[in-house]
Amino acid sequence: MTLPPWKVGELASRTGMSVRALHHYDEIGLLSPSLRTPSGHRLYQQADIARLQQIQSLRLMGIPLEEVKQLLDGAAMSPREVIDLHLARLHEQLALQNRLAERLQALATHLDMVESASIDDLCQIIQVTIAMEKYFTTEQLEVLRERRTSIGDAHMHEVRDEWNEIIPKVRKAITDGVDPASPEIIAIARRWKALVEEFTGGDPKIAQAVRTMYEHEGPTLQQQLGEVPTPDMFAYMGRAFAALEQSSR
Amino acid sequence: MTLPPWKVGELASRTGMSVRALHHYDEIGLLSPSLRTPSGHRLYQQADIARLQQIQSLRLMGIPLEEVKQLLDGAAMSPREVIDLHLARLHEQLALQNRLAERLQALATHLDMVESASIDDLCQIIQVTIAMEKYFTTEQLEVLRERRTSIGDAHMHEVRDEWNEIIPKVRKAITDGVDPASPEIIAIARRWKALVEEFTGGDPKIAQAVRTMYEHEGPTLQQQLGEVPTPDMFAYMGRAFAALEQSSR
DNA sequence: GTAACTCCTCACGTTGCGTGAGGTGCAAGA
DNA sequence: TCTTGCACCTCACGCAACGTGAGGAGTTAC
């Protein structure tokens, strides 16, 4: 007893595919029904249905139709090769997507820092976000992200304000030729150090990376952050830190 | 002093884009040069270049061109919304991709278990792999995967062989009406238990899940694995285990 | 007989360009 | 000045896997 063949609609509803998909499979020669009615209606027999089930299995693994076709038509590819190849491609894609997701996450936290919503600012912040990838390792970025969320939004602005207060003072001290070992500069150095440690979590590698970044990307960062330390400030404050060390002994 | 405008080729090489991409941006109205020579050559001015840089920034975040366009043309979307929306989409995709990758990993280890390379077998194994997702949690699947790799290929075949030896014996014992508390059945129960514990790592939840799976998917699994325990065997062996417990006291 | 389905074959749309095809503009050497 | 060669132009197809009509014919139930 042979079962009557199925028409597309029936096959579609029974297999959960769309009629269009079955048409498509026919078009590309992946699954052509072995029978047609005189008027041209597709009739699928047992063998066709079996093939469709195989196709569905392979599609569940995300294998592209062209490769499914080659596999089922017995081309020169072992299942193992196909799976391994596909897995490799998937991992590549995943790596890319993950990098994108990390970027977007970083961008989102950066967006929380500033209150602006202009497109120009957004693009600037993207630049900063991308630039940071060059100066910090993935783990360091992770640490920074955590620091930022733990510091919180409100305090973040206080920190910004404090930098905006300190940096002009340092600039003025440099142009005025004030001795970095003088008491008022040492007081500033103490505040500076506290700010840095709060931001970097005390990791000297991160502090160094921050410094390198400011040296290379100063102008870009300045547009977003406001006051930003320049290389000569780092040098000057270095001497102030030395004096701070001495005085605290 | 205004700089001379750039032609496509020049803009392309300086920004790292392809000429075709710039043409495309022009076609879709994303970036149309503000000038053309009388002969129709595109001339990009400073404003155009700035816009291109913004486009590049947004594209680095994987934002689709249509949304980039709307953003830059000041449509009703805040940067925040766009980023959040895009991040959500990305996470969705990542979840899908990760599931696929897990499936493929599981499939690969399953492929290592059997030596066959036929397409039919591959599709069967895919079915099994998918079916397992219904009976085990993600963590359980992870545990099983680790068990399998730690057991190793060679020993895996010994295990299979032992099942193929034990199961017919149990079947025969059932049809022959042998008492499950009889010594030979208790001996078999001891081996059975050892096999199960080796496979499940001693986790009773996994053992239960395996049993449920065999009850529902018996025929499918049998085609791939060979001998497979049936519900009546589980019941029978349950009584044998009880006898084993008693005797070992 | 006709209404209501189901089926058929085009054929465009999707995303972001790559890759020619065939033709013109422009700067420099013979 | 003429030619050579490079840069530029505008179509237009291709990709992956179908979704979504459009317009028309076959099938089935009342």
- CB-contacted nucleotides of strand D (7 Å): 7-10, 16-20, 25-27
Residue B13 has pLDDT above 80, yes or no: yes
CA distance B202 to B144: 11
Query: Could you tell me the pLDDT band of residue A1, with boundaries at 50, 70 and 90?
Result: low
Residue A217 has pLDDT above 70, yes or no: yes
Strand stretches in chain A, DSSP E = 6-7, 35-36, 42-44
Reported as a single tens digit per residue, the pLDDT across B89-111 is 999 999 999 999 999 998 988 88
- CB under 8 Å to A63, separation ≥6 — which residues? A71, A82, A86
Residue boundaries of the structural domains of chain A: 6-72, 96-248
Q: Is B42 (CB) below 7 Å from strand D?
A: yes
pLDDT of the residue at A249: 59
DSSP state of B145: H
Query: Could you tell me the pLDDT band of residue B51, with boundaries at 50, 70 and 90?
Result: very high
CA distance A154 to B12: 43
More confident residue, A65 or A138: A65
Reported as a single tens digit per residue, the pLDDT across A149-207 is 777 777 777 777 888 888 888 788 888 877 787 888 888 888 888 888 887 877 888 88
Contact B6, B44 (CB under 8 A): yes
Residue with tokens 């977007």: A104
Pair of tokens at residue B149: 């790799």
Residue B1 has pLDDT above 60, yes or no: no
Rounded percentage of chain B residues whose pLDDT exceeds 90 = 37
Chain A residues touching residue B54 (CB < 8 angstroms): 119-120, 123
B6-72 in CATH: which number? Answer: 1.10.1660.10
Using alpha carbons, select from A134, A120, A223 the residue that is nearest to residue B58.
Answer: A120
Contact B31, B55 (CB under 8 A): yes
Average pLDDT of the residues in A8-22: 97
Judge: A126–B80 Cβ closer than 8 Å, yes or no.
no
Burial class of residue A54 in the structure, from the number of CB atoms within 10 Å of its CB (0-12 exposed, 13-18 middle, 19+ buried): buried
Considering only CA atoms, which residue is closest to the C1' of nucleotide D20?
A20
Query: Could you tell me the pLDDT band of residue B173, with boundaries at 50, 70 and 90?
Result: confident
Pairing of strands B42-44, B35-36: antiparallel
Q: How distant, in Å, are the alpha carbons of A2, A43, A46, A52, A238 from that of A5?
A: 9, 6, 7, 14, 85
Judge: B130–A80 Cβ closer than 8 Å, yes or no.
no
Rounded percentage of chain A residues whose pLDDT exceeds 90 = 37
For chain A, the average pLDDT equals 86
Instruction: Name which of A46-55, A128-137, B201-210 the model is least confident about.
Output: B201-210
DSSP state of B36: E
CA distance B119 to A79: 7
Judge: A86–B104 Cβ closer than 8 Å, yes or no.
yes
Considering only CA atoms, which residue is closest to the C1' of nucleotide C15?
B64
How far, in Å, is the CA of B5 from the C1' of nucleotide C22?
Answer: 28
Using alpha carbons, select from B165, B139, B171, B141 the residue that is nearest to residue B237.
Answer: B171
- Best residue in A69, A78, A83, A103 to probe B by mutation, most B CBs within 10 Å? A83
**CA torsion, ordered A193, A195, A197, A198, to nearest 10 deg:** 160
CA distance B114 to B224: 8
pLDDT of the residue at B2: 65
pLDDT of the residue at B60: 95
Query: Could you tell me the pLDDT band of residue B24, with boundaries at 50, 70 and 90?
Result: very high
Q: Where is mean pLDDT largest: A102-111, B26-35, B235-244?
A: B26-35
CA distance B233 to A5: 39
Distance from CA of B174 to the nearest CA of A (A): 35
For chain B, the average pLDDT equals 86
More confident residue, B117 or A139: A139
pLDDT of the residue at B150: 78
Q: Is A37 (CB) below 7 Å from strand D?
A: yes
Q: Which H/E stretch holds residue B43?
A: strand B42-44
CA distance A221 to A156: 16
Q: Is A7 (CB) below 7 Å from strand D?
A: no
pLDDT of the residue at B18: 97
Reported as a single tens digit per residue, the pLDDT across B57-77 is 999 999 999 999 999 998 778
Reported as a single tens digit per residue, the pLDDT across B137-158 is 888 888 878 877 777 777 777 8
Instruction: Name which of A104-108, B46-50, B199-203 the model is least confident about.
Output: B199-203
Lookup: nucleotide whose C1' is closest to B13 CA: D7
Instruction: Name which of A101-115, A121-135, B72-86, B234-248 the model is least confident about.
Output: B234-248
In the chain, the amino acid numbered A229 is P
pLDDT of the residue at A48: 97
More confident residue, A27 or A208: A27
